[in-house]
Structure 1
């Protein structure tokens, strides 16, 4: 039976104690040195920067003749010295952006009470005094489902909004500045919240991009490792997406007339689109970071198998479909969700039938779909190394062998394993190829480290797609149940950390915990800190702590600078019509201490 209880009040002041030292000092020294070197280089490039979030931008002149706008520079800073554990500041233990008022209409956010930490004893019993005995084995941050979006991309299917709320979200134009605010939050964390130990790394668990587009991948790598990021494609200074098309289905922020979203209370914000596409300068993370792939990173639209070039032709072309006749899209989307269009045949037919109402846009080769090989090569580009490691988990050997999974040491006692759960045969659910499944089995059996943390994009419940990979048509694929059983058989595995579902959920399985984290595009827009400790009493603890981006809880609608836009990103997501309201999960899926027996 599951047993869950609250820990002591997170706002109380516990008796101070000094966290026990790590078991891998030599490696930790190297990681910190690499991180410091990357941060120093980034800081040198930011001399003379504006304040932490810059000042509100001026709206560029409209039309093709708009003058280039300099990048807004953000100031990174070394994270402050770790305090005596635990601490709550800058986490959802302290405060959470909370809706004001009841349901109905456009709701504003304000700072609200934090979410307390709950102790979960589903797999082991908590013993008194473990706080004084525990030793930290690993501490990391998980980013998942950033969905950095080129909102002017011709392959986007916003016109299916009536069929699925995920087809278009009013907040999407701010995905880049929102992710930048998350980078700033992590850079400012004072170590791990529960133990005070230094953070080892950041791991992304897929859907880093949205349209499988080269421009989005470039934005993601620039945000994570540092550099100039311009979330704009096509003709600079001339927005050509659905939000400037005068179509009632979408929020038209620069027009006073009532559209579908303004009738829900969305604001009139002249200058919003110019501000949303303005160049930014990311300081990059001040921690090493690793990358895991998701279906939106490899599949056009996150759904369709790459193959004969149709997606490339549409993505880089000069026509964009922005609306459909009423009722046309619902049947099509039902077939997509049922897995009946893995190659995009129905999608191509739809676009062909609707060619007449398409609108002309400026073609841009940067919108081209990214192949798995190009995805890895971009990670290996020295421009994107940042604080390291070079390749962020991927290596030249990964390219040669055409594999997108790998193992890496988190510490002397903890092995990390990053899986590729995307099925290149198409559809948004995932699975593992047999070769990878056997590699996972062997790696867990032969590892030197006594403990392992497994990372993937898909959850165990969303790995039901065993369609053959076109490159390996005769190879069997393994579903989530098979992976779950394999991990349960391994005495090393403590947690399977993933995303995809856009919802916080923590599930006990025989021998390990499955930790699924909400996305950073849908409300409530969170990342998660995970800490592993040995408690010196026959148990281990996994601490999970959710963090919001470094943006004010309350939005100032007059502030179209990066900080104001990051705050607005969160508020728009809260109010997106049709958005799910359960993505924060239950209290036991948020800030927790998860007990395990020592193996």
Structure 2
């Protein structure tokens, strides 16, 4: 394979082809193939050779100064760490995480740091879960059975995500090579309740704008946190509740601040989008948008806030065990508890959005930001009803975004035969480029082979079959995903030495609230290294309860998430799942 160019060329001057290629997205939908050449700087909206193309934005250009590692603001430098040892724990600056060299797939060779050249560098966001916390269909009341089914920090997802955008904008290069960052990729669950309100907030967080994270009553919060129910943290009330008993503070004005306008600068980098189950399905698990009762309940004026623990357990078990993929049981559950509902202000913005709505939002010029047009998606996706595509990352690397959501319902994933064949074909057609694959689900969570209602006769394929396809190609370096809210790095190796790394990254809604920088380098010794470096939001680790500004809320978002009752304290993963060097043999 001819893979001689790299982003190291930026050190001496900007490589025009790489700059254009870094932003050039070419969608490849089922049944229509598009050429993907290093010089592409356009997003295809029509089949190859069938007419005009739509230009996309260029990626950030690097300065002409020599490249130096940039670790400021990364977890190599510092990590949020508890300052006290018991009770409700305040956070402060802690020591950074060391980098671990992973050698399961290849032996590293001495002197490689002096030889290596950068191929690409980018950032992964995953599982932002931007939440309309006043949405009538939310399942907060499951907390009566499972304490972590509702989290005290959920009203702050928007300022928390904006702070993550601010962190990326402050990065002046990649942490290991200093190479320019090409783009940001979100790997799904960008929204939480599949609501139009949340989709609008997500697009503005990423591309810039003013966001009011409120729905219903434009002046007042209406939800579980001013309900007076001790099951939930009541921040503005002096009354005792279960969370205050654990040390959660009294914060006058918290709810008014949580629904106040937030301003996002938008990413300075081009960004691409991958859908997750919470983006595709109401509540992330119910497959039908066609039930008029649930649609009306989403925008209506009644909200269920509490149910007995036994009822909560039955509903949660039905969701976990995929006993109600279309939501008919949930509809009956809501009807059975109708008398317990409380009045709220109706709002049509809470209606569920469809796949078409999701694509149109990305294609809307109002949300272009730093580009590219469509953020990976094109009108070809809209026409064919698909959400997968390929794009040029750099001269030597392509990216492939998969759609692993199960449209038939349930939160685990799979892909259809057409998409699996497309993946195989795309890797074959571009075997002179390295490839990075993106998806929401991990290989282990692609177990839901329930048919897609839009393609009832098409077989669905799980994670093992995707691994088999990826291992059949020597150009695959990594599969980058999320969904499990935990840092896990997994080696995959097939016979003949073909191998790749699966990089699963923790969410930005559960502590430790991370994103990841990924760098690809050629060690010039027969090996490739994939460097992963975790980053936190820009908000300070220490909180000030008197500071309810946008930045203060983002800091509080992190601290509350650490203290959330029932939270899994192991989501950061082991040291070998965090800041790493993942070594591979060249294909």
TM-score (norm 2): 0.89
> What per-residue deviation string (whole Å, max 9, x for no partner) do you get for residues 259-317 of structure 1?
01101100000100111111112110000000000000010010101232333111101
Match status 1:197 vs 2:187: no
Q: Name the residue aligned to 1:522.
A: 510
> What per-residue deviation string (whole Å, max 9, x for no partner) do you get for residues 389-446 of structure 1?
0000000111011110000000111010000000110000000011111110111111
Q: Name the residue aligned to 2:469.
A: 486
Contact (CA 8 Å) 1:19, 1:196: kept in 2 or not? Answer: no
Aligned-partner SS, 1:182: helix
Match status 1:324 vs 2:307: yes
Provide the alpha-carbon RMSD of the alignment: 1.9
Aligned-partner SS, 1:296: helix
Q: Name the residue aligned to 2:575.
A: 587
Aligned-partner SS, 1:391: helix
Q: How many Å separate the matches in 2 of 1:492 and 1:84?
A: 26
Q: How many Å separate the matches in 1 of 2:321 and 2:385?
A: 29
Question: Once structures 1 and 2 are overlaid, which stretch shifts more, 302-311 or 345-354?
Answer: 302-311
Of 271, 275, 278, 1:289 maps to: 271
Of 136, 143, 165, 1:154 maps to: 136
Q: Name the residue aligned to 2:534.
A: 546
> What per-residue deviation string (whole Å, max 9, x for no partner) do you get for residues 219-266 of structure 1?
000010011111000111111011011111100000011101101100
Q: Name the residue aligned to 1:67.
A: none
Match status 1:395 vs 2:383: no
C-alpha deviation, 1:447, in angstroms? 1.2
Q: How many Å separate the matches in 2 of 1:156 and 1:180?
A: 23
Match status 1:264 vs 2:252: no
Of 501, 504, 524, 2:487 maps to: 504
Q: Name the residue aligned to 1:564.
A: 552
Q: How many Å separate the matches in 2 of 1:195 and 1:554?
A: 30
Q: Name the residue aligned to 2:100.
A: 118
Q: How many Å separate the matches in 2 of 1:82 and 1:163?
A: 57
Aligned-partner SS, 1:21: helix
Q: Name the residue aligned to 2:195.
A: 213
Question: Once structures 1 and 2 are overlaid, which stretch shifts more, 231-240 or 200-209?
Answer: 231-240
Match status 1:26 vs 2:16: yes
Contact (CA 8 Å) 1:81, 1:191: kept in 2 or not? Answer: no
Q: How many Å separate the matches in 2 of 1:427 and 1:166?
A: 20
Map 1:351-500; keep pairs closer than 5 Å: 351-447=334-430, 449-500=432-483
Contact (CA 8 Å) 1:80, 1:188: kept in 2 or not? Answer: no
Map 1:245-260; keep pairs closer than 5 Å: 245-260=227-242
Between Structure 1 and Structure 2, how many residues are aligned?
539
Aligned-partner SS, 2:193: coil
Structure 1: runs of 5 or more not aligned:
1-17, 35-76
Map 1:89-128; keep pairs closer than 5 Å: 89-102=72-85, 104-128=86-110
Aligned-partner SS, 1:528: strand
> How has the CA–CA distance of structure 1 residues 80 and 91 changed in structure 2, closer, same or farther, with 3 Å as cutoff?
farther
Q: How many Å separate the matches in 1 of 2:261 and 2:61?
A: 24
C-alpha deviation, 1:568, in angstroms? 0.3
Q: Name the residue aligned to 2:122.
A: 140
Contact (CA 8 Å) 1:80, 1:189: kept in 2 or not? Answer: no
Match status 1:598 vs 2:586: yes
Aligned-partner SS, 1:542: strand
C-alpha deviation, 1:92, in angstroms? 0.3
> How has the CA–CA distance of structure 1 residues 201 and 350 changed in structure 2, closer, same or farther, with 3 Å as cutoff?
same
> What per-residue deviation string (whole Å, max 9, x for no partner) do you get for residues 152-197 of structure 1?
0001010001333553110010000000000000000011110000
